[in-house]
Structure 1
Amino acid sequence: MGSSRTSRRWAGSGLVALTVLVTAGCATMPDSGSPEPVDPPSGADQGVQVRVIPVPPRDGQSPRQVLQNFLDASIADEHDYQTAREYLTPEAVKTWQPDTGAVILAATNPDASSGDGDPDHATVVLQSQQIATLDAKRTYRARPEPHYSASFTLINVAKDTGKDPKDAATKAQWRITDLPPVLILNQTNFRNAYQQADRYFFTLPDPSLPPGSPGADQSVLVPDPIFVRRRIDPASTAAAALAEGPSDWLKPAVRSAFDGTDSVGNVSTDTSGAVRVQVNGANFQANESQCGQLAAQLYFTLVSLNGPGSIDKVTLTGEHGTCYLGSAQAKTLSWAPGSLTSAANGGGVPYGRNAATGQLIRLDSNAAVAGVLGSANLPVTLRPAGGQLGPFAVRRDGQKAAVVSADGKGLYEAPLDDSAKQLGAALVTSQAPSPGQGLSTPSWDGFGGLWVVDRDPANPQVWLIRGNNSRVAVPVDLPTGLTVDSIRISSDGTRAALLLLDPVTKTRSLQIGLVVRVSGVQSAAAIIDLRAIAPQLSDVTSVSWADPDTLLALGKENGGVQQLHYVPTDGSGSATDTALQAVDGMTVVAASEDRADQVLADSKEQDPKDGDTIYQLAGSAPPTWRSYNHSGAVLPAYPG
């Protein structure tokens, strides 16, 4: 779940935040006057974050100092930004709306001010590199721009300053009268002031499937990452954000049980982890099922905020009726987050292919699977040819697998038992001239849908094959000039991690697209609104889902070496990502959506005679690569 990912990333960046804030003196060290007290970190922030004490305006500060202090005060631990508003004129107070969005910059150091000859008017320009934005729904989006510029107009509101320039400067009272309407802060202060959480929404039914078929009406909770202010009642803020509905990006693929309710009250939590929330406009006596769904959405949202084991029970009180959801019951819900992952469906074991024979094997036992794909007499089309071995994917329940032929031209499916004695016809065929341009590694969603990319330059296409082996083309809303090189679908089927190939530079970028299900004959799904979530990586070789809201990418930065990066689906880890060193020659990374499973990788050794080696990531602080000791195995992969 999201909490594990959030805790991991904060642990890696906290020391930096503490050091930078204290040494630079941004918000905790005033640039003039007596030192202000700083409360020591406590609780979840111990050794990680610092509390920001705002400094009110003082006479005699320059326009640049006033702006800097305003920026610092705006990220202080005040619910209503009271101190920051003291730096604004009454007119500016009305136009500044910090809760409607934010711009996150690399730095917030105002340039020198200019008065244009008027001693009582000044303009201060803030210029920096833009990192990201936060919208009114608290949704983070990576938006790297090399040049961001914002102008602030200030006026001197002091009266009777006298004619002596020195006396006038000492009594000057500069206030901001014109400024951008949103919050502006640097990435260090953003990490200090904000905390990430996942709010959860239900997948929509698939209108293209017959009622009662797998995936037609089954729902599962999907994470929708948000950022809330860390020390300003984050639980109540997260609950309110949940009731407001999903992000604009995720909205076309999900629904909320909160639809039709008015609002939620503040979250009340006692020392035992019991949560109480008032839901206005809800009649739980008339609709008990709605109450259970509301409680599930809220329970998993608060757990993502506070960590596993933090919530014992959630009690919802409507205008009529009350219901509750306990932690034990929450874990058994069919729609719980991650309930469609391989681990939740008995398939959380890694697989590989025998490099010499092509047999599909279980890496936990190094034994060939049952059925035609594990046969010593593998069909010729799936055997290694010319040093090539086609990729594969095991269905998330471990009952079937799909394998691409060595020449990249055919996709075949077979059960992992003895029910099928021979390989059937290809589900998809490619006319690509070479294996590297043929079919990509396939990927299964949690509803049994099989996804694969045909990289044929003459006819590139993403295909979806469903339970009755019907094949439908899936349109992708691609950026100009790029093509889809591979796809990894989330277990809930709402998001697709795509590696996009630039045919000019031959590099691959990582983007995430929203999967919307549609009814009709021509297509059952479409991938829309692609977003770059790892802009710091210039080339990505392999990607795998690490949990329902995080990807594990094998890639490199400009001029850098290949490394492993945990990438949140909203791109919020790009600025503070702590990369893991990769082994030379790594081509494939394999993770499951359960963090308890080992991360595996395939490396092509520098000496071709040694073949490939599978490594596992073991240990901590920092983890290291160790040989997995499965002789002859290549292409490690978890189901999915």
Structure 2
Amino acid sequence: MPDNGGVGPVEASPKQPQVRVFAKPPRKNAPPSEIVEGFLEALTSDDPKYSMARKYLTKKARQVWQPDLSTTVLADGPNADTERTSRDSDGGGYTYALSGRRVATVNEQHAYQPEEGAYTETVHLTQRKDGQWRIDRLPAGVVLGESDFQRSHHAVNKYYFASRSSSDGAEAQEPRLVADPVYVRRWSDPVTETVKSLLKGPTDWLDPVVVSRFPTDTRLKKGTKALAPDDQNRLRVPLNERADRVSTSQCSRMAAQLFFTLKGVISSGVEQVELEKANGDTLCVLNADDADAIAPHRTVDSPGYQYFIDAEHRLVRLPKTKGSMEPVPGALGSGEQKLRTAAVSRDEDRAAGVSAGGQLLFVGSLLPGAALEPTKVRSEGKGEPDNRLTAPSWDGRGDLWVADRDPDNPRLLWLGQGEGDPVEVKVSGLEGGRITSVRVSADGVRVALLVEKDGKTALRIGRVEREGTAEQPEVAVRKLRKTAPRMEEVTAMSWAGGSRLVVAGKESGGVQQLRYVHSDGSVSSGTALPGLTAVTGIAASEDDRLPLVASSEDGIVRLPPGANWRTVVKDGSAPVYPG
């Protein structure tokens, strides 16, 4: 530590940890309790192969221990439970009990799964012939406190293509890339580990609705130890013989998956990806322009406007950064039909609006003079508008979604291309809950739902499965999972990228707060959001350079990057970006 000189500020980067932890080897003649503590501390280190942690194990235990099998995340570090710690009856060993509050588990696929509950495991020690105590039996995988997990692991999006279904028409667009979030260790060559994980395929939860363009059993070429970009951010990836015979177009799609996956891993970005055959020949080369042309990871270009409902119940728009509001072109901006909520298609050509009373859904073009077209969606809910239709949502395929909150007939509805007869979506896992808000991801593969049950509203993410035919499509939402498990009451939410959402809600006994969460249920470690009072709606863009927009007791407000909330208009509600 310096003992003289001035004091100056230190700029901390939110993307890289500023502290590295180095484990210590076991001390000679250390007692059993110190061995256990030393081993648990070694698990928190940045040692890529856990070589120091293995020094606390017997030879046999080192051979069978599989630290990559799983990671258990606890609210705090594992604690030694003295009441359950005991010495063996023959005096030859000790059993130490570990306890804690489980937060999540990261499985062998690196997938994060929220998992609240008690954690209880044991560690057994034995004394070697030289008198040194070592661990001979221990739980599978690794156990970490939440703060150590966030410091030592990095959230990464792998990318796969959305699956086509039998209900897709011949004119269906090229499937979009879908983000599959996983966690990799920061100091264990994250580039190589991420590529290996991508090649092994999507996580189990996402697997039924996505495909990889890499042939089955494609892996890195045998003998490849580490991947790293050159000084011009070009990365060469040698593959095994399974990829030797792919076509040029397939190879380009394989490279696009790699390109967008690695953009989130290499801090300086990646400019070019080159795939190699097993014999060293080039399969294909893909740069940034080619990647965007082949598989745009955003559904559309950056939106031109932000939208909301004004005091006259019209759909109005704001330029995305500066400028004054104006009614949208067409009937939805004329005031001809009073609106409660609205949604704008991702290409900003059409919009859907729910009537002021919440009973009816309309669709109209955003062209001057365009007429308003009523859909066949109607809610029969009684009483307040909150018992009728939610705000609608467009996916990247051009399909329209809306939920009916009628207590006597709650349902989720889907309209192909925003027209025709609505299809009732089968939703598994609601367990008696009622959908009160719906937001579909740009790729159309995942849907975020606010589900009300027993007076509480929680955020759930489900995967969208499409079946049937183009004439008789069947749509289902399956495998709902918790996405903000610590929030007892969620008020509003919006997709904010490939696998991230922004959520307004509060924890038990707490005040309302704004937070970014990942679609797998983990909390984003990015910059905290400034507080805002009484948030009733929030909107975010896939383009993270654009401001958040919210409705609160201060009216319609915007949060530009690096600034604080600023009021745009005093009277307004239901803010949305396209989608």
Amino acid in the other structure paired with 2:104: A
Structure with greater strand share of residues: 2
1:150 paired residue number: 121
C-alpha separation in 2, matches of 1:596 and 1:477: 36
The structure-2 alpha-carbon separation of the partners of 1:519 and 1:46, relative to structure 1 and needing over 3 Å to count, comes to closer
Partner of 1:19: none
Alignment correspondent of 2:4: none
What CA distance in whole angstroms lies between the structure 2 residues aligned with 1:450 and 1:490?
12
Match of 2:5 in 1: none
* CA shift in 2, pair 1:246/1:619, >3 Å: closer
> Within the alignment, does 1:465 sit opposite 2:405 as a pair?
no
**Is 2:503 the partner of 1:549?**
no
Contact 2:492 2:535 in 1 (8 A): no
Q: Tell me, yes or no, if the aligned pair for 1:591 and 1:600 is still in contact at 8 Å.
A: yes
Moved more, 74-83 or 486-495: 74-83
Return the letter of the residue paired with 2:475.
Answer: A
Task: Determine whether 1:336 maps to 2:296.
Answer: yes
Quote the Cα distance in structure 2 between the aligned partners of 1:634 and 1:43. 37
Picking from 98, 101, 108, the partner of 2:70 is: 101
Query: Displacement of 1:301 after TM fit?
Result: 1.2
| Structure 2 residue ranges without an equivalent (≥5) | 1-9
For the residue of structure 2 that corresponds to 1:350, the secondary structure is strand
Alignment match, 1:495: 446
Partners of 1:123 and 1:153 within 8 A in 2: yes
**Which structure has more helix as a fraction of its residues?**
1
Give me the whole-angstrom Cα distance separating, in 2, the residues matched to 1:512 and 1:577: 21
Change (3 A) 1:590 1:77: closer
- Cα deviation, residue 286, structure 1: 5.0
The correspondence for 1:281, drawn from 227, 241, 245, is 241
C-alpha distance in 2 between matches for 1:59 and 1:119:
20
1:210 aligns with 2:169: yes
CA contact (8 A) 1:260 1:281 kept: no
State how far apart, in whole Å, the 1-side matches of 2:40 and 2:367 are.
64
3-state SS of the aligned residue for 2:179?
strand
Alignment of 1:350-361 (within 5 A): 350-356=306-312, 358-361=313-316
Partner of 1:49: 18
Letter in 1 for 2:45: A
Describe how 1:237-248 pairs up with structure 2 within 5 A. 237-248=193-204
Which residue is 1:617 aligned to?
A: 559
Quote how far apart the aligned CAs of 1:284 are.
5.0
* Residues 413 and 42 of structure 1, relative CA distance in 2, 3 Å threshold: closer
CA distance, structure 2, for counterparts of residue 200 and residue 43 of structure 1: 29
Q: Is the Cα–Cα contact under 8 Å of residues 565 and 578 in structure 1 kept in the other structure? A: no
Partner of 1:302: 262
| Structure-2 residue corresponding to 1:518 | 467
Instruction: Indicate the residue corresponding to 1:22 in structure 2.
Output: none
SS at match of 2:79: coil
1:190 counterpart (146, 149, 168): 149
Q: Which amino acid aligns with 1:200?
A: Y
Equivalent position of 1:637 in the other structure: 576
Instruction: Check conservation: 2:215, 2:242, Cα contact below 8 A.
Output: no
Q: CA deviation at 1:419?
A: 5.8
Structure 1 window deviating more from structure 2 (481-490 vs 576-585): it is 576-585
Supply the AA of the counterpart residue of 1:471: P
- Residue number among 215, 222, 230 corresponding to 2:178 in the alignment: 222
SS in 1 for 2:465: strand
**What is the letter of the counterpart of residue 287 of structure 1?**
S
Distance change (3 Å), C-alpha of 1:581 and 1:82: closer
The Cα shift of 1:47 comes to 7.6
1:427 aligns with 2:376: yes
Which residue of the partner structure matches residue 400 of structure 1? 350
Q: Does 1:602 align with 2:551?
A: yes
Structure 1 residues 545 and 286, CA gap change in structure 2 (3 angstroms): closer
Per the TM alignment, residue 313 of structure 1 is displaced from its structure 2 partner at its CA by 1.2
Q: Could you give the per-residue CA deviations for residues 289-319 of structure 1, whole angstroms, max 9, x where no partner exists?
A: 1211111111111111123x52121111013
Q: State the partner residue of 1:416.
A: 366
The percent identity for this pair of structures is 35
Tell me, yes or no, if structure 1 residue 312 matches structure 2 residue 261.
Answer: no
CA RMSD of aligned residues (A): 2.4
Q: 5 Å matches for 1:100-179?
A: 100-106=69-75, 107-112=77-82, 113-145=85-117, 147-159=118-130, 172-179=131-138
Task: Mark the CA change 1:44 to 1:285 in structure 2 (over 3 Å): closer, same or farther.
Answer: farther
- Cα deviations across residues 318-353 of structure 1 (Å, max 9, x unaligned)? 136414444432453242211x14x44xx4411122
Structure 1 residue 82 displacement after superposition: 2.3
Q: Which amino acid aligns with 1:501?
A: E
1:243: Cα distance to partner?
A: 0.3
| Structure 2 match to 1:232 | 188
Question: Would the alpha carbon gap of residues 197 and 158 (structure 1) be closer, same or farther in structure 2, given more than 3 Å must change?
Answer: same
Q: What whole-Å deviation, never above 9, does each CA across 1:577-620 have from its counterpart, x for those lacking one?
A: 76534433321111111111111111236xxxxxxx11111352
Is the contact made by 1:296 and 1:325 (CA closer than 8 Å) also made in structure 2?
no
* Counterparts of 1:375 and 1:103, CA distance in 2: 55
Instruction: Pick one of 379, 386, 389 that aligns with 1:436.
Output: 386
Q: Which residue number corresponds to residue 207 of structure 2?
A: 251
User: Is it true that 1:538 corresponds to 2:488 in the alignment?
Assistant: yes
Q: CA 1:55/1:455 → structure 2, altered by over 3 Å: closer, same or farther?
A: same
How far the C-alpha of 1:470 sits from its partner, in A, is 3.5
